[in-house]
Amino acid sequence: MPATPRIAVFAGSFDPLTNGHADVIVRSAPLFDRLIVAVLVNASKQPLFSADERVAMIRRVVADQPRVEVDTFDGLLAAYAQARGATVAVRGLRTASEFAEEWQMALMNRHLNAGLETLFMPASPECAHISSRLVKEIARLGGPIDGLVPPAVAAHLASRRLRAGATSI
């Protein structure tokens, strides 16, 4: 009988995907048969990029990763993971201060879905200072984002900035 495929979900806002996210994807994908990068659609915060734009950017970045699938989700991650047959939620950890909240979220997700474990992937040192929020702020203020986001995302940010005018994105 074939073994049950090991499916993990890497959920997030990805507004936009950064090199930190890409690092987590590249390092965690080989641990599973399938890694689903799941873009949260209806966050209470207003995203800069639509879900479709975020999915399109991520698909370009992971095009060479055969185990990686990109999807959207709404509602509870625990329910989405169950619906997709995923037994692991991957979370990147950049700083020790993030751990408390992530730990609580991991326990709550396991409370909601006893079949869902969380895997914490420590950020590579060269990515530990990168966040989507800071990338957007730097881009908005006209600063350099080289090395912070994959080229496909940098191009998207640049075209958004051009369309919106020099001072806002």
Among 93, 108, 119, 128, binds ligand PNS (CB under 6 A): 108
Note if 136 is an active site residue. no
Catalytic residue among 94, 110, 140, 161: 94
Among 13, 18, 19, 28, binds ligand PNS (CB under 6 A): 13
Interface with ligand PNS in residues 88-107 (CB under 6 A): 105
Which spans in the chain are helix H?
19-28, 51-61, 77-84, 96-112, 132-140, 151-164
Q: Give, in order, the Cα–Cα distances in Å from 31 to each of 25, 57, 67, 90.
A: 10, 23, 10, 11
Note if 91 is an active site residue. no
Distance of alpha carbon 22 from alpha carbon 115, whole angstroms = 26
Of 52 and 162, nearer to ligand PNS (C-beta) is 52
The two tokens of residue 1 are: 């009988």
Note if 156 is an active site residue. no
Binding positions for ligand PNS, rule: CB under 6 A: 11-13, 40, 76-78, 105, 108-109
